[in-house]
Amino acid sequence: MKEKYPPLLQVEQVSVCYNTKRGALKAVSGASFTIGEGESVALIGESGCGKTTLATAIVNALPMAASITGGNLTYYKDGQAVNLLKLKKNQLRPLLWSEISMVFQASQSSFNPVRKIKTQFLDTVRTHDRSQSREEILNRASGLLRVVMLEPEKVLNAYPHELSGGMKQRTLIALALLLQPKLVILDEPTTALDLLTQEKILRLLKELKKQYGFSLLFITHDLGIVSELADKVVTMYAGKTVETAPVRAFFQNARHPYSIGLVDAIPRLTLDNRPVISIPGTPPDMVSEERGCAFAPRCSRCIPICQEKVPHSGAVGHMDGWYCACWNPASRGEHIGKDN
Amino acid sequence: MKYLSLAIYLLKRLLKMLLTVLLVTSVIFFLVRLMPSNPIDRYVEDQMVQYGITYAEAQNRAAALFSMDLDKPVFEQYWEYIGKVFQLDFGNSLLSPGVPVMDIIAARLPWTLFTVGIGLILSFVVGIVIGAVMAFKRDRWYEPLVTGFASFLSAIPDFLIAICLLLLFGVVRWNGENPLLPIGMMRGTYSMQVTPGWNIEFIADVLRHGMIPILTYMLSQVGVWVLLMKTCTTSCLNTDYVTMAKIRGLSSGKVLFSYIGRNALLPVTTEFFMRLGFIVGGALIIEQLFVYQGIGLELLRATNGRDYPMMQGIFLMMSIAIVLCNFLAEVLYVALDPRIKTGGAGKDGK
């Protein structure tokens, strides 16, 4: 079968540890998934499951206490495979932003407070390409700002504190697209915004994606956004990628009990009185030594082997790119979300 | 329009500063007179002890010397003084009769500005650099040592540092040779045999005399800058905009100066200007210890002799300097940080 999306970034068995007073905290352990060219991948999971850590690991912006302890991040630059983790700092720097850009969760403070927005657009381009003139850069920036429905004149000459939250978010999206990167990472791009602005930004992202054809990796808690924007859903639990599924398959027919739990936890605007089901218990402590499946204590489908051995990711279902790490996955059509 | 409101703002600030200085001057006027004893008693005591003359004789001498009538009602004296201050007449020194207070200050102040100022600038520069470096290397083994030493330095009183330096440079015989500096010969601000002016010998001599005081001021303040800069830089390092700048692929130099340094320097700059105001006051104990003829030593002398006009003059200078530097700090802060808009500038004011 021909792959729909040629791979752009392969995340293979990536592990990230935080050094804490209690010992090494395995924020991400053996996460794997692939982002194809032009594909949009959603990364979902509970707070603290390692989504942001994984995303920051891709752009080499982990905090000092964190270190990548294993795995490969293979990026395909013009068809050539590069392992981002093996690159030296000055080899990686040219790739950042021009190939991979990222919009932060805390985009409210992502701009240098003492410099005008204009300056921050200018120095971003100039770092990567010295040949462009000031006018060229500002023209492109204005164009992008207009695309995100902002007034370029006003925004470019403003200081960050003079912009509202939604404006900053959109400015940051414009900045992220400035160098026409192949991959844009969005860490909870709409969390801090009201519903109307959220909706606007989502529509915008869809438009932009169509227009510029970049790949998208976005982290979110909002499954509504996932259904609107994603081609593929990666579910993380306790630092592991427990299920990777095409978006339709995920919503209709997720296989991992945790994914099922996430889907069932969404309230629906239909007339049936099906209760919102939450997942009992809390995520495990990621410092203590693991034994068995991390989700086992909270899992309704737990069988004896789940307590003993860590499940490995394997292909499930009939569709391409559907993987699940579970000893006892729900079979097709078994769970209650299917009739939706 | 913009300039007009700025002018109004500046004028308002100037009036406010004048009022502050006037208030301080008034308080000082009464405070110095509240100190026990008075200039004449002090002079009489001094004469009797030093020259063994009788009380009556000493009083006669004093009467001939002091032009000031201290028996006048104190408020009368006050109005007289304030009136003269507005004509920029600060009176004559009592201890050096006939010499205007401002002449003495003009002769002493440059030396204090020179030593304390250079000490402050040196400690600032060295402290900022060390503090910033320590913020980056905060996971290394030597970071706690350096930071600990910085807090140690900022905790010990400056006169102890001065005495240690005196011992190291002026007393200890390294390898059995003579001490590094002949401190016995080095009283004052420069040696007698050199002629003041822009010549090499004079400048070298001045530097040699000022070296240990400068070093003292530097060492006693450098710790504060290290700690302050380290804290500010560390908090900037963890901000989203710095992470973002790195993700944007900016070079580390750009991130260091334009993103981290620029923001970390904001609180440090304010602190610098606050301290700059205090250099006029000098360091009384240090100047006395080194017999350095600066304003601090003069203030000490004036206080001992209850030289009211002299004390008032020096305190006036100090308050002007502090008020002015606070104003400078404020203006500079507005210029450095766009988030702060002063109430008066730009808009119609408070």
This model of the complex carries an ipTM of: 0.80
Q: Are A101 and B248 inside 8 Å of each other by CB?
A: yes
Q: Are B239 and A109 inside 8 Å of each other by CB?
A: yes
**Listed range (A312-321, B101-110, B213-222) with the worst mean pLDDT:** A312-321
Residue B196, domain extent: 104-304
Best of B138, B236, B241, B269 to mutate (most A CBs within 10 Å, chain A): B241
Q: Are B250 and A114 inside 8 Å of each other by CB?
A: no
Q: What is the pLDDT of residue A118?
A: 92
Q: Does B98 touch chain A (CB under 8 A)?
A: no
Distance from CA of B242 to the nearest CA of A (A): 8
Distance CA B64, CA A336 (A): 111
Burial B63-89 (b: 16+ CB within 10 A, else e): eebeebeeeeeeeebeeebeeebeeee
Cα-to-chain-centroid distance, residue A259: 16
Residue B334 lies in a domain: no
Q: Minimal CA–CA distance to B150: which of B230, B256, B226?
A: B226
Q: Which residue of chain A has the CA closest to B137?
A: A64
Quick check: helix, strand or coil at residue A114? Answer: coil
Distance CA A111, CA B259 (A): 9
Average pLDDT over residues A248-269: 82
| Domains parsed from chain A with CATH numbers | 1-99+181-340 (3.40.50.300), 113-179 (no CATH)
- At B127, is the pLDDT very low, low, confident or very high (cuts 50, 70, 90)? very high
Q: Minimal CA–CA distance to A184: which of A213, A211, A227, A162?
A: A213
Residue B343: pLDDT over 50: no
Residue B269 lies in a domain: yes
Q: Are A111 and B241 inside 8 Å of each other by CB?
A: yes
Q: What is the pLDDT of residue B347?
A: 37
**Identity of the residue in B240, B247, B250 whose CB atom sits nearest the CB atom of A123:** B250
DSSP-assigned beta bridge partners for residue A232: A41, A246
Q: What is the pLDDT of residue B219?
A: 93
Structure tokens, B117: 């100022």
* pLDDT tens per residue, range A139-186: 989 988 988 888 999 999 999 988 888 788 888 888 988 888 999 998
Contact pairs from chain A to chain B, CB under 8 Å: 74
Q: What is the pLDDT of residue B125?
A: 94
Average pLDDT over residues B74-78: 86
Average pLDDT over residues B97-108: 87
Which residue type sits at B325?
A: C
Residue B44: pLDDT over 50: yes
Q: What is the pLDDT of residue B10?
A: 83
Q: Are A61 and B263 inside 8 Å of each other by CB?
A: no
Residue B265 lies in a domain: yes
Residue A339: pLDDT over 60: no
Enumerate the residues of chain A whose CB falls inside 8 A of the CB of residue B251. Answer: 93, 127
Q: What is the pLDDT of residue B346?
A: 40
Q: Minimal CA–CA distance to B337: which of B263, B283, B273?
A: B263
Number of domains, chain B: 1
Q: What is the pLDDT of residue A340?
A: 37
Average pLDDT over residues A7-13: 89
Burial (CB count <10 Å: 0-12, 13-18, 19+), residue B117: middle
Residue A3: pLDDT over 70: no
**Identity of the residue in B138, B248, B266 whose CB atom sits nearest the CB atom of A96:** B248
Q: Are A127 and B243 inside 8 Å of each other by CB?
A: no
- At A195, is the pLDDT very low, low, confident or very high (cuts 50, 70, 90)? confident
> If you average pLDDT over each of B82-96, B187-201, B213-227, which comes out highest?
B213-227
**Identity of the residue in B138, B258, B339 whose CB atom sits nearest the CB atom of A161:** B339
Q: Where are the alpha helices (DSSP H) in chain B?
A: 2-34, 39-51, 55-65, 74-86, 101-136, 142-155, 158-166, 200-237, 240-247, 252-254, 262-278, 284-289, 295-304, 308-336
Mean pLDDT of chain B: 84
Residue B311 lies in a domain: no
Enumerate the residues of chain A whose CB falls inside 8 A of the CB of residue B241. Answer: 109-113
Structure tokens, B257: 């100066």
Q: Does B338 touch chain A (CB under 8 A)?
A: yes
Residue B112 lies in a domain: yes
Best of A64, A90, A105, A110 to mutate (most B CBs within 10 Å, chain B): A110
Q: Is the pTM of this model over 0.80?
A: no
Residues 317 through 336 of chain B touching chain A, CB cutoff 8 Å = 336
CATH of the domain at B161: 1.10.3720.10
Average pLDDT over residues A264-271: 69
- At A334, is the pLDDT very low, low, confident or very high (cuts 50, 70, 90)? low
- At B167, is the pLDDT very low, low, confident or very high (cuts 50, 70, 90)? confident
